[in-house]
Chains A and B, each alone.
Chain A
Amino acid sequence: MLTAKELERYDRQIMIYGFGKEGQEKLKNARAFIAGAGGLGSPVAIYLAAAGIGTIRIADHDKVELSNLNRQVLHCEENIGGRKVDSAAAKLGKLNTGIKIETIADTITEANVSQLVADSDLIVDAMDNLPTRYLLNRAAIKKGIPFFHGAVYGFEGRAMTVIPGKSACLNCLYHGATVPKEKFPVIGVTPAVIGCIQATEVIKYLVGQGELLTNRLLNYDALRMKFTEFKINRDPNCEHCGNTSGR
């Protein structure tokens, strides 16, 4: 049940055709797990908090550095040296006091991933490396909850939504490829766009509106200001979501 204050706060989105109070209640009752409080995690968390997602659990083991501030808009100069999850919680808490923010400052590992996402309704992949992305993809499939993928490099970004059992997963997309984790070039507006796309997909999924970015990889080329799509088919032999013994 929405309070009078919530009805006022979310009035403009409740007005959207097909959204309504029911949609807002779905957001209020949702628990989102955001993996990463960096370039992608920042816009995702800010817009999910602003939209009124009831519980946001955000995980990041890093501390804020000066070089983060060109893109990681959850953090400020005064946060340098502090844990990212702490500045994230402080900023999100100021933005919306009506939601619950949970923080995890641990590294996401194979040993703890199931526990970390245990009571979440969805996972947002805002990580900076493929191995952890694969861990989260596998956890989402095992738990049967959606996985919202985003990635950036320079002026380029990509996004895809995974509905376990119904659509291609991250491993179908990248087929186990690994790329060494290294410092990568990026300007803040790129993760801002991709993170907002991920947050949009989360909201659409929870409210039940529109068509999700499933079985499609959205490619964003900011320099040419061009969006293109690739059709991603499920890999019947996928080690994460296919009918193989490795699942």
Chain B
Amino acid sequence: MSVNIEISPIFGRYTNNILNMKVEGKTVRECLHDLVRQFPDLKKMLLDKDGNLMHSYDFYINGENVYPKDMMKPLKDGDKLNVVFIIHGG
């Protein structure tokens, strides 16, 4: 199950500025865990102690937001998962 991930530019420093990558997983959680397996420096930035996405970040599936924000949300082969930093500066 291959999913395309695009991450916010803010994460580029932890991924050699690679912002688009392929991961394996059947859920958002599995895909994020495969992402941090490929880029271990991302783990402390992205995931909390329970392995869930930290509150400072958000995700979109195929360009769309999802309710509720469930890490167990299933993903299909070829889906796109965007992981973004919640920015609030003015």
| A and B bind | yes
Task: Tell me the bound Cα distance from A41 to B8 in angstroms.
Answer: 24
Contact string against B for A residues 115-157, beta-carbon threshold 8 Å, 1 for contact and 0 otherwise = 0000000000011111001000000000000000011111111
**Shortest 3 CB-CB contacts between residues of A and residues of B:** A153-B87, A128-B90, A184-B89
Which residues of chain B are near A181, meaning CB under 8 Å? 88
B residues near A (Cβ < 8 Å) are 8-10, 55-56, 58, 60, 63-65, 67-69, 82, 84-90
Of the listed stretches A23-31, A98-106, A233-241, chain B binds A233-241
A224, B9: Cβ atoms under 8 Å? Answer: yes
Contact A230 B82 (CB under 8 A): yes
Min CB gap A192→B, angstroms: 12
Contact present for A177 and B86 (CB under 8 Å) = yes
A158 at the interface (CB under 8 A from B): yes
CB distance from B56 to the nearest CB of A (A): 5
Additional pairs, 20, CB under 8 Å, beyond known A156-B8, A236-B67? A39-B89, A39-B90, A40-B90, A127-B90, A128-B89, A130-B88, A133-B88, A151-B87, A151-B90, A153-B10, A153-B88, A154-B9, A155-B9, A168-B65, A177-B55, A184-B89, A229-B63, A230-B82, A233-B65, A235-B67
Q: How far is the CA of A177 from the CA of B59 in the complex (A)?
A: 13
Q: List 24 A-B contacts (CB under 8 A).
A: A38-B90, A40-B90, A127-B88, A128-B88, A128-B89, A151-B87, A151-B88, A152-B87, A152-B89, A153-B85, A154-B10, A156-B9, A156-B10, A175-B67, A177-B86, A178-B55, A179-B88, A186-B89, A191-B90, A231-B64, A231-B65, A232-B64, A233-B64, A237-B68
Q: In the bound complex, how far is the Cα of B68 from the Cα of A36, in angstroms? A: 31
Q: Does A223 contact B (CB under 8 A)?
A: yes
A235 to B58, CA, bound (A): 15
Q: Cβ of A173: which chain B residues have Cβ within 8 Å of it?
A: 65
Residue from the list A39, A168, A177 in contact with B58, Cβ < 8 A: A177
A13 lies within 8 A of chain B by Cβ: no
**A219 at interface, CB cutoff 8 A:** yes
Q: Contacts A177-B55, A223-B9, A231-B64 given: A152-B69 contact, CB under 8 Å?
A: no
Interface assignment of A221: CB less than 8 Å from any CB of chain B: yes
Range of interface residues on chain A?
35 or more
Q: In angstroms, how far is the closest chain A Cβ from the Cβ of B57?
A: 9
Closest partner residue, chain B, to A175 (CB atom): B69
Residue numbers in B under 8 Å from A174 (CB-CB) = 58, 86
Complex alpha-carbon distance, A191 and B90, angstroms: 7
